[in-house]
Every structure is written in C-alpha cells, then in structure tokens.
Amino acid sequence: MLGIARHGRHVAIACFQIRDSALVGRDVHRVEAGDSGDAELLAGFAASYYARAGEIPPSIAMATEVDDAEILEFLSARREGRVEMRVPQRGDRARIVRLAERNAEEWLIRREAEEDADRERADAALSALVVALNLEASPSRIECVDVSTIQGAFTVSSLTVAEEGQLAPKEYRRFRIKGVAGQDDFAAHAEALTRRFARSTADGSQRSGEAESRAWSLPDLLVIDGGRGQVSAAAAVLDAAGLSIPLVGLAKEREELWPRDATAPILLPATDPGLRLLQRLRDEAHRFAIGYHRTLRSRAATASRLDGIRGLGPTKRKALLRRFGSAAGIAAAPAEALTEVPGVDHALAARILAALGADRG
C-alpha cells in the first residue's frame, strides 16, 4: 500500500506492507519531486523500492492510478508472476491507503518542522560567529583542518566543511602528509593547507579545462584545530597564496578561540551557538582524520605481511586484497579460491598460505 503527500516540491511516500490482512511493516521515504506528477512519482518509487525488496507483492494499492506498462512488466518479471497496481475504492484496502497518505503527510510535517529548527539554529550560530569574530559577513562556507599522527607515523590531515551553518560531509577532504618528518604539527598543518589552497584560485573563481574539476570553493572562515602556533602556520600559507580569509584557531583545553593576530584568546560561553558549531566541525575533523589514520595503518600492516612472498608482486597483491579484503581474508580462503585470481597458480597459493599460516591456526 502506497500513500503520497506533497507540499510544493517536497514529497513523501509511505509504504505499508500487508500480509494475511495484517500490517507487518511500514516506512516513509522522501522523494525528489521535480516536475513529476503523483502518478509518475508513485510508479518510479514502486520500481525503485521493489527492485531492492526481497519480496514483491502481487498487488500494489495506491490512491492515484498508474498506467505504466514498462514498470508493471519489470515488477512482474522480478516476481516471476503477475503484478498489478490498483486504486481501491472501498473496503479495508481503501482505508489503509488513506492511512498511508495520512502517515506520509504527518511525516512530511514533522520533517519540515525539524528542518526549520535546524535552519534557525544554523542562522543563530552564524550570527553569533559574525559578532564574536567581528566578521564582515556571515560565513556561508566554514572549513576546519585537523592533523592526526601517532609517534610521527602516518601523519594525516582532514578538512571538514559546514555550509550555511550545517555540516556538509560530501565536501570533506583528507590528505596524507608526505613532506614532514616526525611529529611537527605546525609543518603538517602548513602542508595540508598549501595543498588545499592549490585547488582554488586567489579570487575563488573556478579554473578552466582539466583543473576545473579539481577546483574547490574558498571558505569564508577557516578554523584550525589548535592555538596560536597552528594559526600562525596557517596565516603564513594564506599570505603566500595571496588569500585574505578570516582565520581562527580552536584550542581544545579551554575551548579558546584564537583569531589571527590576536594577543589574547576569546572565551565564549559553553552555550554559545557559534562556539557549538565550531566544536561540531572540529570534532568531525578529528573523527575523520582518526578514521583515515586507522585505514593507513591497517593497509600498511596488511602489505607488510604480504611482502617478500616470491612471485607475489604489487599487481597480484592488489588483486588478492580486492577479492578477499584483507590478509586475514586471504589466509582464511582455500588454495583453490586463491588460484581464481589471475596470475596466482597452485604453487604461489601454497607460498601465500604458508606465509600467512599464523592466521590459519
């Protein structure tokens, strides 16, 4: 049973699963409306939803008539039996469709209220930052940079982004620091920022040709995880790039804000919405950097265990890892499975399993 609710370009579709006259499941999905009508949206949703479903019902009920032979043929082929889309006029099925529509409507109202509240919080945070940091304009794009290292090994940096006061995970970036020996937080920040701003022109405009796809928008506010030293390193990078971007450090111990050229930190109340936004962005950067750090350590550990095996070069090693996921996955596989990887014969499979023998015990 499908029910649709629409508020302008915002659309929700509720799906009720009925089996033996009992409701066994229900969920609500947001749908991009575009210029499509209800019938087209319902047909497209049915095709997408039931393409992933483990079971397709013989009958799909909804309030709007859908006449799409291609989708019905697709669903019937998936089910290996006839599927129909019907508009019930009376009885329990009509009542449940109306209930699904009401469910979609209520969900859409709640979702829009939540989004309105999120926008209000975001606007309050941006306004607070304008006041606290004496910014000329509201920072539509805020970037935060964090560096993670353990005893100077696998130093990485992450860049997280907030757009219009809300986290934008699709804009996150990460860097492996290559030009810094040992633990040098200032130099690591400088390398990460130099590489980051190499992706933007000085005036923030998009590059042309091949570089266009690699260009990134410039931030309206740059946040550094750290205090005066990290801010000074970042300021030097901005100066070298000819960029004039508001810059502030967020020092962990007392959650101090260190604007560029400040002689004393700014201390905001813990409840300040601007501070809370920067803390969320900093914590995201920290989480993102730590995750990348763990990935690199895991890759290095796997590679080291596969090094030195006669006949196992980089190409075969990558193919094995793609197939089995890890050294442990390779070790747990039978020799016959290893020989299915191009270039791995029975002799090489035996050497690989012997080298990884500790995992098989």
CB atoms within 10 A of CB 333: 20
Residue 26 identity: R
Question: How far apart are the C-alpha atoms of 245 and 233, rounded to whole Å?
Answer: 14
| Chain segment 31-84, per-residue pLDDT in tens | 887 778 888 888 888 888 887 777 888 888 888 888 778 888 888 888 888 888
Q: Which of 142, 244, 226 is nearest to 187 (CA)?
A: 226
CB atoms within 10 A of CB 58: 11
| Chain segment 132-189, per-residue pLDDT in tens | 999 999 999 999 998 887 665 678 888 999 999 999 999 999 888 887 766 777 888 8
74-93 exposure pattern, b = at least 16 Cβ within 10 A, e = fewer: bbeeeeeeebebeebeeeeb
Q: Which of 325, 324, 346 is nearest to 335 (CA)?
A: 346
- Of 106-115, 118-127, 294-303, 309-318, where does mean pLDDT reach its minimum? 294-303
More confident residue, 321 or 107: 107
Question: How far apart are the C-alpha atoms of 227 and 246, rounded to whole Å?
Answer: 15
> Given the DSSP bridges, would you call strands 221-225 and 141-150 parallel, antiparallel or unpaired?
parallel
More confident residue, 230 or 291: 230
Q: Are 108 and 259 in contact (CB under 8 A)?
A: no
CB atoms within 10 A of CB 55: 9
Provide the mean pLDDT of the chain.
Answer: 85
Q: Which residues touch 95 (CB under 8 Å, ≥6 apart)?
A: none
> Percent of the chain having pLDDT more than 90?
41
Q: Which helix (H) or strand (E) holds 54?
A: none
Question: How far apart are the C-alpha atoms of 14 and 17, rounded to whole Å?
Answer: 10
pTM comes to 0.67
Token couple for 38: 């209800």
Token couple for 34: 């575009």
| pLDDT for 149 | 74
